[in-house]
Structure 1
């Protein structure tokens, strides 16, 4: 008897519809601190030994007894909408690759769950619909989703099982891929198609307070894992990505069960538990100068750095990583032994490489994204070190992945050092500082352009962690965003006002 034949691939993007820059085909071809667009058997080496869902699937014990047919895998840095050209080009190549390896016994896809294209609000739903049409109703489709997926009814309808990460920072991406392999094996061996219970919650959760190492998510995700059983083979809670202006934006619960009644009951119980924690999805947010002064106070006599999250310019949530609010605050407050990263400014990095180590260059750093309240920082900077931007990131989030940040530099203004890069990726690994000669353990203050992922590698070395709101496209409070298309009644912040569509003009 021939081995089961499983097509594997992935197409990931987290879309912030309020962000300044779209995701183009070239962005996917370059990647974002992850492998670039890869096709065929090269996928296996590209994702090997990394914290990527597809890696976990193909390296799972169950997969060793299958014939895996690689298709296409790609991702781009979170940003505004995926362009129509990029979506259609990548989707058509993925579908063609799946068709080329048919007939199939199953399809596994590594997706995000919050992709919005210029011409499609529900990128993953449409992609799964096309895959289902191609492979037919009898072929199981199993999907890995990011915890921040904005799940839609179409996604649930078209896939046999959607299985989401359970950690933020996402240290379990590969582990979730392995869980998908277990689910695929169960579907193939049992022939069962489980009942589905899908529920959308009625309030948006700010991402700064979604960390699963802290309450309320720590307890909620422990309960999610404990709910699974033979009768309930998969339970997922997705906190959602609260910066996508379409009707299905928001948190959700997906339960798969052997019978509909039990799945529905479990979903209802989980939704009630999450609803009871609504007020806990909030926390203290500082202005830039408030945060820097508090960090300076805490750093006095501290043996470890105080870490500040520059959460609203997080390139992991659609920011361009070039706003200057936090850097200006560090300079204005006279912070010493401070470092900030990453600032995305290829021109400044190029000027540093042209001038050389030890030179002083006068540049207008950052501030290119036209964010209200933000502007470049024009100053003299000392070029302290240069790098080609290629290194291994061994921390829990990147999981030993090979990063390519392009030509990079450490620029110093006063006693503040800045990691300047030519490719966007959030500051989520200490190696990003070390790649340009900054030792994070020797700093009094570290300012990271990240919301939560940085905690995986920085929380163990932090004296304290503060959250600051400098100007940027990823609002720490979703209620301030100019929403137009949400579903009526959805609260745009915990315990906030329900969304009501604007009245149509007479």
Structure 2
């Protein structure tokens, strides 16, 4: 079986000042083409790593196209989005006759003028390959799932861990389901239950209450006729019509069953909507409790400046609170400040510098902090992700 594969995956914040450019796509080996995709991802804990493992197991000839995965940031300019999508389509077309398509998408991509990035991508791929070629896609748990996506793809499979450690496992599951379609006569029918709810911060799947949601998900997957099921906790930093949590379920030749199961789990989640929320105290509020904890380290996370969700990463709020508290044994990891990085790279290890750190991307990020700092190490930050974290 000949299977085309590729990735066009971006978590898009429509609120961030961080732009998305061609350089965003090319940075950090973020844009790969052809066979270098297979070399780069073989054995890695990534969706494509899972596709490769599944292809090896099932004897697929996996035909790589492109892998475009910029870091989370703002909407992709429309011309750039069209250019990259065209390159994906050209790669699939160049593969010739194919039996299936395995795609890594995100589920929260927005381009200028395109609120539903994944729906647009899937529609373009479907138009190219026709109705008879199965399209199976792997998605992030933080997805905004549209009815358009569900109508076009044969199967969508979302990750079910947070922190996300099951990328390769879900990619392998995609390949396994594709094998069932191509070799065993599986006829997938997919249904979606969208919820009028933005999931809060209570999402860690190893702990209650989120663990119970995943256990319920697995109970549904074990039912006769069910192929797979997924929960999307949503990506709330996207101001689009389909933003919100959802459940999507695939059944074998039984859309009514898929819809009933999606609605059942969706209702269970919505009834417990208060469970998914967490109180968010300020850094100053928590410092006394941290000092009295008697066990260290105590870790603070600035959820409002999460670079993993497209934020600039240069907020000085937590740093300023630490400085005002005159903490002697504390660190802030990390503040994104290209200007400071350039100065440190030029000065070298061992240099002692007076610097204005952070607070440069937006007034909302706070004022820069004046600091005296020693350069203790320099790195390009590149590493290979082979899991589990």
Query: What is the TM-score with the length of structure 2 in the denominator?
Result: 0.95
Which of residues 143, 151, 162 in structure 1 aligns to 2:145?
151
Work out the CA distance in 1 between the residues paired with 2:385 and 2:300.
20
Residue-by-residue CA offset, 1:228-282 (whole Å, 9 max, x unaligned): 1440011111111111111100111111112123222212211121112111111
Instruction: Give the secondary-structure state (helix, strand or coil) at the position aligned to 1:125.
Output: helix
Q: Are the counterparts in 1 of residues 10 and 106 from structure 2 also a CA contact under 8 Å? A: yes
Contact 1:62 1:181 in 2 (8 A): no
Matched, 1:129 2:123: yes
Offset, 1:37: 0.2
**CA–CA distance in structure 1, aligned partners of residues 182 and 96 of structure 2:** 16
Is 1:362 the counterpart of 2:354 in the alignment?
A: yes
Superposed displacement of residue 63, structure 1: 4.7
| Candidates 368, 373, 380, aligned match of 1:381 | 373
Report the structure, 1 or 2, having the larger strand content: 1
Partner Cα distance (2:384, 2:227) in 1: 36
Alpha-carbon distance in structure 2 between the residues aligned to 1:373 and 1:367: 5
For the residues of structure 2 that align with 1:316 and 1:198, how far apart are their CA atoms?
26
Q: What is the CA–CA distance in structure 2 between the aligned matches of 1:43 and 1:13, rounded to whole Å? A: 17
How far has the Cα of 1:357 moved from its partner? 2.9
Aligned equivalent of 2:242, options 229, 235, 248: 248
**Does the 8 A contact of 2:44 with 2:387 survive in 1?**
no
1-structure distance, mates of 2:292, 2:61: 59
Matches within 5 A, 1:55-134: 55-60=49-54, 63-134=57-128
Q: 1:24 aligns with which of 17, 21, 24?
A: 21
Residues 173/392 of structure 1: CA separation in 2 closer, same or farther (3 Å cut): closer
Take 1:116 and 1:373, find their aligned partners in 2: how far apart are those partners? Answer: 24
Mapped to 2, the partners of 1:51 and 1:210 lie a distance apart of 21
Correspondences of 1:13-52 after superposition (within 5 Å): 13-31=10-28, 35-52=29-46
Aligned mate of 2:287, from 272, 278, 292: 292
Aligned length: 387
Structure 1 partner of 2:337: 345
Q: Distance in 2 between matches of 1:187 and 1:256?
A: 12
Q: CA RMSD in A?
A: 1.7
- Shift of the alpha carbon at 1:291? 2.7
Listed one character per residue, the Cα deviations across residues 153-194 of structure 1 (whole Å, up to 9, x for unaligned) are 111111000000000100001110001011100111233432
1:183 alignment counterpart: 177
Q: Deviations over 1:419-449 (max 9, x none)?
A: xxxxxxxxxxxxxxxxxxxxxxxxxxxxxxx
Instruction: Measure, in 2, the Cα distance between the counterparts of 1:162 and 1:388.
Output: 35
Structure 2 unaligned blocks of 5 or more: none
Is the contact made by 1:368 and 1:375 (CA closer than 8 Å) also made in structure 2? Answer: yes
Partners of 2:104 and 2:255 lie apart in 1 by 26
In the TM superposition, residue 16 of structure 1 has moved relative to its aligned partner by 1.1
> Which residue of 277, 283, 291 maps to 2:278?
283
CA distance in 1, matches of 2:55, 2:91: 25
Q: Which moved more, 1:277-286 or 1:116-125?
A: 277-286
Give the C-alpha shift of residue 64 in structure 1. 4.2
Question: Cα 1:40–1:62, aligned 2, differ >3 Å: closer, same or farther?
Answer: closer
1:114-167 alpha-carbon deviations (Å, 9 max, x no partner): 001112001110111010000000000000000111011111111000000000
Deviation, 1:355, is 2.3
1:227 Cα deviation after fit: 1.2
Indicate yes or no: 2:218 matched with 1:221. no
Higher helix share: 2
Name the structure 2 match of 1:268.
Answer: 263
Separation in structure 1 between the aligned mates of residue 203 and residue 8 of structure 2, nearest angstrom:
24
The structure 1 segments of at least 4 consecutive aligned residues displaced by more than 6 Å after TM superposition are: none
Contact 1:19/1:80 (8 A) holds in 2: yes
* 8 Å contact from structure 1 (residues 322, 344) kept in 2: yes
Q: How many angstroms apart in 2 are the aligned matches of 1:386 and 1:195?
A: 52
How big is the shift at 1:354?
A: 2.3
Whole-angstrom CA distance in 1 between matches of 2:55 and 2:115: 36
- Change in Cα spacing, 1:373 to 1:10, as seen in structure 2 (3 Å) is closer
Counterpart contact for 2:314–2:365, Cα < 8 Å: no
Provide closer, same or farther for how the CA distance between residues 220 and 47 of structure 1 changes in structure 2, counting only shifts above 3 A. Answer: same
CA distance 1:254–1:394, change in 2 (3 Å): closer
Cα distance, 1:17 vs structure 2: 0.7
Supply the distance in 1 between the matched residues of 2:61 and 2:258 (Cα, whole angstroms): 32
Pick closer, same or farther for the CA change 1:394–1:232 going to 2, 3 Å: closer
Instruction: Check if 1:308 corresponds to 2:300.
Output: yes
The answer to whether structure 1 residue 196 and structure 2 residue 215 are counterparts is no
TM-score (norm 1): 0.74
Distance apart, 1:223 and its partner CA = 1.2
Counterpart in the other structure of 1:172: 166
CA contact (8 A) 1:21 1:79 kept: yes
Q: Is the CA contact (8 Å cut-off) linking 2:283 and 2:300 kept in structure 1?
A: no
C-alpha change, 1:39 and 1:221, in structure 2 (3 Å) is: same
